[in-house]
Structure 1
Amino acid sequence: MFVVGLTGGIAAGKSIVASRLGALGAAVVDADRLAREVVEPGTPGLAEIAQRFGEGVVQPDGSLDRAALGAIVFSDPAARLDLEAITHPRVQALSLQRMCEAVADDPARVVVYDVPLLVEARGVGEFDHIVVVHAPASMRIARLVTLRGMDPAEARKRVDAQASDEQRAAVADDVIDSSTSLASTEKQTDALYARLVDLAVAKARA
């Protein structure tokens, strides 16, 4: 199985790249989606979060109040680490299951793990190739404000809470520059996918 770790800072354009890779034929496993699954109502993950952070992070319908939890963990590094200790092992186990399912019929298929916190939490050792989607921090903050309606101070806090551009660049095998245009980002992604297919086929044949 050839697994690509796809990462990038918040609002860097990673979702655009992931969507394009999926359209081209890659199996895309979304870490954020898995992270929601492991804290759905009734799950052990949500119960453990409520025990650690209080019932105030659970909405009346039994679902996680993401805004309330986010307000806690993005202003308290220790709290964020506690949350990651609860969710990350569960997400890791579920992601491996989904990856194996994706290549059951085609061992040479490119598997892309779309993971925002690859540098911060997942680590690079389990991936065959690391792709970083890059846009300058100032641009990402502006995108959060204009596209998501986020307060500038909160946007800065979200960006600062993640790994730096330098830390991500240090682990990258490929970098997609998303700071110019959508067309440019897609063109870079198309060329990347062609290279990834070759690498996946080579590994399957080895």
Structure 2
Amino acid sequence: MRRIGLTGGIACGKSTASRVLQSAGATLLDADVIARELVEPGTEAWQHIRDRYGPECLLPDGSLDRAWLRRRVFSEGTERLWLEALLHPRIRAEFLQRSRALEAQDGAPDVLIWVVPLLLESGYDRLVDGILVIDCSRDSQWQRLRARAHWSDAEIAAVLARQTDAAHRRAAAHWVINNDGGEAAFAAQVRAWWDSLQSTPRTPS
């Protein structure tokens, strides 16, 4: 089974690309989905976060208040480092365990798409056979992030500063799909990439 990493900057369109690929029949493993599962109420990671920050980090239903937590960790570097140290090893272990399980099952697909926002930053790039980068301009990122609830300009700047430079991602990529146009055009590009990948079984050089 080939492992293909799908990555890109925040608000570049990774979620849209993932939906298009799933509808086309691709098998995906998403690090963000695993991260959300690992902090569901009652989990070990959720308990650590609740113990550190108290009830103000929770919504009325007991789930994490992600907007509050984002503001807290990006305003205090030590808190961000603490949260990353808590979550990143757990996410990686669970991600790799699920990947191995998928690869070992009967009738395993020929390609497994790893959707990992911090693919390069977290070293997952060394574990894949090819990298697809979803790219867009910085202006597009700002516009999309401003449209999201509870995102201030300071928060946007802090999040963007934490991510790998777009030029570095493009340099590491085997394929790049730009998402500065409309959604229909972007979806068509993603489907065309998937069709081409399936018809070209070689590992990219």
Which TM bucket (shorter chain)? Answer: 0.7 to 0.9
Q: Report the equivalent of 1:151.
A: 152
Aligned-partner Cα distance in 2 for 1:194–1:102? 22
* SS of residue paired to 1:111: strand
Contact 2:10/2:160 (8 A) holds in 1? yes
Q: Report the equivalent of 1:35.
A: 35
Q: Report the equivalent of 1:118.
A: 119
Q: Report the equivalent of 1:163.
A: 164
Contact 1:17/1:186 (8 A) holds in 2? yes
| Length, aligned pairs only | 202
What amino acid is the match of 1:161? R
C-alpha change, 1:66 and 1:138, in structure 2 (3 Å) is same
- Residue 87 of structure 1 pairs with residue 70 of structure 2: no
Q: Report the equivalent of 1:179.
A: 180
Q: Which range moved further: 78-87 or 98-107? A: 98-107
* SS of residue paired to 2:40: coil
Shift of 1:198: 4.3
Question: Structure 1: where are the runs of 5+ without partners?
Answer: none
* SS of residue paired to 2:147: helix
Q: Which range moved further: 54-63 or 175-184? A: 54-63
Q: Report the equivalent of 1:142.
A: 143
C-alpha change, 1:74 and 1:65, in structure 2 (3 Å) is same
Percent identity over the alignment? 38
What amino acid is the match of 2:20? R
Aligned-partner Cα distance in 1 for 2:25–2:41? 33
Q: Which range moved further: 169-178 or 179-188? A: 179-188
Q: Report the equivalent of 1:193.
A: 194
Shift of 1:179: 0.8
Aligned-partner Cα distance in 2 for 1:195–1:106? 22
Contact 2:29/2:99 (8 A) holds in 1? yes
TM value normalised by structure 1: 0.85
Render the CA deviation track for 1:113-171: whole Å, top value 9, x for unaligned: 21112122243111111111000112110111135563333333322232221221232
TM value normalised by structure 2: 0.86
* SS of residue paired to 1:118: coil
Aligned-partner Cα distance in 1 for 2:177–2:86? 31
Q: Report the equivalent of 1:62.
A: 62
Aligned-partner Cα distance in 1 for 2:146–2:29? 27
Aligned-partner Cα distance in 1 for 2:70–2:125? 26
Shift of 1:109: 2.9
What amino acid is the match of 2:79? A
Question: Structure 2: where are the runs of 5+ without partners?
Answer: none
